[in-house]
Amino acid sequence: MERLGPNKEINSYNPFFLLSYFFAMSQSSKKAIETKGAPSPVGPYSQAVLAGEWLYCSGQIALDPSTGEIVGAGNIEEETSQVLKNLLMVLNAGGAKASNVIRTTIYLVNLKDFNKVNKIYSKFFQSGISPARACVEVSALPKGSLVEIDCVAWIG
């Protein structure tokens, strides 16, 4: 017998037991997160999924949660601020805060906006360790948005 996690023994010679154990654990500890404080998804996905102690937040764009309209009318700074407000509402609904974020991905329609987005982003993640991240240019984003940000947070 080997130990798996705190006080959990498994039979390492039975791969079917291992597979069923991990499947059962993954199914029992997965929960969709939803909040009215952020826009409803524009497709068939959850705002976030809590899996164990990990919170996987779907990408947020600059939609006003109450109207469903894009905030900022093409102003990258205003859009970025709204995106981060939306993301914070989803994080909070999942029991996390900005300081729990481990990884982000930023999607920009124009990579020339990188410095403007960085300025606002750095204020949002100013406490503690900055998250790891990637920033990529894309050809288009939903609803004509200029920026989208998703993240992964650890709340353990």
Catalytic residues, by residue number, are 135
Ramachandran angles phi, psi of 46, nearest 5°: -90, 155
Ramachandran angles phi, psi of 126, nearest 5°: -90, -15
Q: How far is CA 21 from CA 3, 25, 31, 113, in A?
A: 13, 6, 18, 46
Kindly report the number of other CB atoms within 10 A of residue 51's CB atom: 14
CA distance 47 to 92: 12
Q: Are the C-beta atoms of 57 and 91 separated by less than 8 Å?
A: yes
